Amino acid sequence: MKRLFILMALLLPLSLYANEARPLADDEAVEQRLIKIAEEMRCLVCQNESLAGSHADLAEDLRREIRVQIRAGKSDAEVMDFMVTRYGDFVRYRPPVKPTTWLLWFGPFVLLVLAVGALAFMLRRRNHLSPDIPLTDQQKQNAEALLRDKS
């Protein structure tokens, strides 16, 4: 028993080596990806902040969760999927293009086309409304007189 203690005491210093500082680069890569992903997401508690910039409790939890997933080797798209299945498309700052958002994405262009079409239609109609009225002889002479004066 006593010998065991002595042996243990002798082995003790071996376990006391200071740990090597954890390589920062490894963590930094995770952190960089976390920020890149979280900047694309809306914080649900304070809706005008991104998940990357929010100090809300939930945002911290979600960042922790994303960190775990990044370490587990999930792709950015998989992390985004994880969030969207739980919180809906609302977490994304960029809404996806799908039938329910077609109006959002293409509505402005539809309006533009309609407006340009309406403008073209009106201009053409106006042309028809003002047919050429031939000048009288008097008017022609006046016009020529004016042009001559100018030069």
Partner 1 sequence: MKRTLWYLIPLAFFIGLVAFFAVGLQRDPRLVPSPLINHSAANFTLPQLHAPAKTFSPADLKGQVWLLNVWASWCVSCREEHPILLKFSRNHVVPLIGLDYKDQPSDALKWVGNYGDPYTLTAVDLDGRVGIDYGVYGVPETYVIDKMGVIRYKQIGPVTQEALDNTILPLIAELKK
Pick from 53, 76, 79, 54: nearest CA to 65: 79
Burial grade of 84 (CB within 10 A; 0-12, 13-18, 19 or more): middle
Minimum CB separation from partner 1 for residue 75, in Å? 19
Nearer to partner 1, 114 or 143 (CB): 114
Nearer to partner 1, 61 or 144 (CB): 61
Map the footprint of partner 1 across residues 25-44, applying CB under 8 A.
44
Contact between 135 and partner 1 (CB under 8 A)?
A: no
Nearer to partner 1, 125 or 150 (CB): 125
Q: How far apart are the first and last CA of the chain?
A: 125
Map the footprint of partner 1 across residues 58-97, applying CB under 8 A.
58, 61-62, 65, 84-90
Contact between 108 and partner 1 (CB under 8 A)?
A: no
Contact between 45 and partner 1 (CB under 8 A)?
A: yes
Q: Is 92 helix (H, G, I), strand (E, B) or coil?
A: strand
Minimum CB separation from partner 1 for residue 150, in Å? 39
Contacts of 89 by beta carbon, 8 Å cutoff, 6+ apart: 95, 96, 101
Cβ pair 46, 57 in contact under 8 A: no
Please give the residue ranges that form the binding site for partner 1 (CB under 8 A): 44-45, 47, 57-58, 61-62, 65, 84-90
